[in-house]
Structure 1
Amino acid sequence: MLRLTLCMTLVLTLTACAGGDRGLRDLRSSSGGPDEFRVQPSGPLTLPSDLSVLPTPTPGGTNIADPMPNADAVAVLGGNPNALVAAGVPTRDGALITAASRNGVDPAIRQTLAAEDEAFRTRQSRFGLFRARDSYFQAYARQALDAYAELQRFRNAGVATPSAPPQ
């Protein structure tokens, strides 16, 4: 009995140490090997019957032999894969784009926001030196909404709300 208790304690201790909930926030590979999810097999090269249908080569353009998994998935699900090709702003979104860009557009907004976010998370970490590997949720904990409290607030205000899973 003592032996069984010791084995169970050892197993529980080892499983507790091996944990760590990185979740979907940290997708980096911890091994030095190849990433099997980045391998995309390409189809065989084929020569079209009419060479006039070949697109003109453009720097940075796509190749007709390149794999397009998103377009393939859209086609399999019955959608139009050509809808994924960016052909400018759709007319239905023109008013939205005009309103959003009324004060100008910063071409480096992504880099600016990434730098500001990194600075904010550094300030929120303890001493700014010993940051955890993924401090996103810890840094933004005070700004997070309680979904159930918000749901109750909207229901109390008379707003029609969908059902929610139990807490």
Structure 2
Amino acid sequence: MPMHRTVLGMTLAVLALSACSGGVPTLMNLRNTESGPDEFSVVPTRELELPTSGELPAPTPGGFNRADPTPEADAIAALGGNINAAPTADSLVAYASRFGVSGNIRGTLLAEDEDFRRRNDGRVLERLFRNNVYFDAYRDQSLDQYAELERLRRQGVQTPTAPPAR
């Protein structure tokens, strides 16, 4: 009889846990219907530093606040890189815009993306049951990481952080 109660108790526990899961994951849906805080917009500041000699540093108008976070520089330093040799935002923008820049690129991309999502919104039953159509919609634009890895290796590019084998 105690074995029967144990099995019954375990069955009830499994049923109770399965009742906790609900809904369809909405992370990959094309339209976000949730409202809430953006957990990635909160960045902690550094600790305040006390001067060792008792004198305050000279003010730097237009400079940076020493307590503000610098995630890019911190990551470069943590990985053993040279912070002074890192590309700046200005040099990246200059390199990316070397062939010219469209003045209304954001509006153009917005219109093209809305048109693409409208054409790839899923079939009637997919929309009715809120099936995730993200991967189907963007399948032609996805990168085959293994084919790209082989292409780079054929060119002699070192790939120390290659994706795991299939």
The reply to whether residue 106 of structure 1 matches residue 102 of structure 2 is yes
Residue 119 (structure 1) shift:
2.2
**Residues matched between the structures, number:** 144
Deviations 1:12-60 (CA, angstroms, capped at 9, x unpaired) = 753764663736x89x8x6756848714133316566552xx4332xxx
Of 66, 70, 94, the match for 2:68:
66
CA distance in 2: counterparts of 1:87 and 1:160, whole angstroms: 29
One-letter amino acid of the counterpart of residue 118, structure 1 = E
Change (3 A) 1:16 1:44: closer
Q: Which residue of 2 aligns with 1:76?
A: 78
* Map 1:37-76 → 2, pairs under 5 A: 38-44=42-48, 51=58, 54-57=59-62, 62-76=64-78
* Map 1:18-167 → 2, pairs under 5 A: 20=25, 22=27, 32=36, 35=39, 38-44=42-48, 51=58, 54-57=59-62, 62-84=64-86, 86=88, 88-89=90-91, 98=98, 101=99, 104-126=100-122, 130=127, 132=130, 135-144=133-142, 165-166=165-166
Residue 140 (structure 1) shift:
1.9
CA contact (8 A) 1:22 1:134 kept: no
Could you say what the CA RMSD is over the residues aligned between the two structures, in angstroms?
Answer: 4.9
CA contact (8 A) 2:76 2:82 kept: yes
Change (3 A) 1:12 1:146: farther
CA contact (8 A) 1:125 1:135 kept: yes
Residue 123 (structure 1) shift:
1.9
CA distance in 2: counterparts of 1:118 and 1:74, whole angstroms: 37
CA distance in 1: counterparts of 2:110 and 2:102, whole angstroms: 14
Change (3 A) 1:70 1:89: closer
Q: Identity of paired residues, percent?
A: 31
The TM-score normalised by the length of structure 2 is: 0.52
The TM-score normalised by the length of structure 1 is: 0.51
CA distance in 1: counterparts of 2:65 and 2:17, whole angstroms: 53
Residue 86 (structure 1) shift:
1.9
